[in-house]
Structure 1
Amino acid sequence: MYLPTCNLRPAFPATALLVLLSVLLCSANVMAQVSTGIAELDAPFTQFIEGRGSARTEALDTIAALERDDTRELLTGILSGDLMLHKPTGTVVRATRQGREYLMQSLDGSEELGSDSTRKLARLKVTNKMRSYLRNLIAGLGLRSANPQHRLAAINALMDTPDQLADETLVELLGSETVPAVRKALSALQARKQAVSDQP
């Protein structure tokens, strides 16, 4: 009995499947670009929002190192949840909740962006570990400034809450400080930190 043979071909040749798989893998590693309306902040905010692990803390370090006038405000906004991602546009905005909507402002606060429903905005993901890192980063702003007066002001700002600064950071700063007045202030901060930690 004669049985006709079927010339079966795979729907996708093996090479095509390999190419498709490569494209998908590459796409998974490409970060969706986030917009902030401020050119120098686009890349670090994209890295913070789309990145993972140490890439996210590196992004925060980059933002802090820019030494913008609003650096503290930006980092505090991430920590508090006041900065959010407007999902339809991929834009980081300042958001204030009003009923079932959020009122939006541009990141630098110069422009009103209208409002949108709560489901269209997302808080920037901050884990407990990241919260601790952010608090320490915010506390340390100005401590590494090239201007001794800025360093001194940052130290004085920490006197009421010295526990916000990590012990290892304080030791590092003491070891590298060369200005006597600033070094004296750091020593006072260290003593204050010790006194607070000794309290029951």
Structure 2
Amino acid sequence: MSVEPSALEEAGARVATASTELPSPAAALTPGQQQHLQAYAQINLVDTLNMRCYADVSVFHPINIAFLNLRANSKALLAIGAGQRAIWSEGGGNNVLVGLGLSTSAPALYLRSFLINAREIIVEPFQDCAQLNIALYVRTEHTQLRGRVELPPGASVTLQSRCDRSSLIGLSSFAMELQ
């Protein structure tokens, strides 16, 4: 397998080049407006990477995620690494089970916010939560998933694939084997 620069790095280089070649009306923007325009372009690049992954990748890997000891009104973030061609998914294709599983150790689960988008999972419980389990897929052709977590004090998260398991606390980066 050849080593290629990541799609996000290539796209970022195109944005940097394009920003130096701005047409005269855009060159008249204030530095703050130019910064906003470049941030918007960067977001569009990530969105394009996500859409290409969704359209082109048909490999699904099951992942189990267990958040432990989340405090009320705290926020937990689990994100796929920037530039990695991977997105969270509900599965699909070739008779693969489709769905998202969510369970907890509590009799009832009250969440202030719960978000799963292409690259992030954000959980914010309304009350203390001893354990929250999420079962879903990651859509990627890579054999390794890389990312980061941001957890409140005292909380941890355990990520488990078919062949690897990692437990993380605080502000951490991770890499786990998928096959």
So what's the TM-score if we normalise by structure 2?
Answer: 0.25
Specify which structure has the bigger relative contact order, considering alpha-carbon pairs within 8 angstroms and separated by 6 or more residues. Answer: 2
Structure with a larger share of its residues in strand: 2
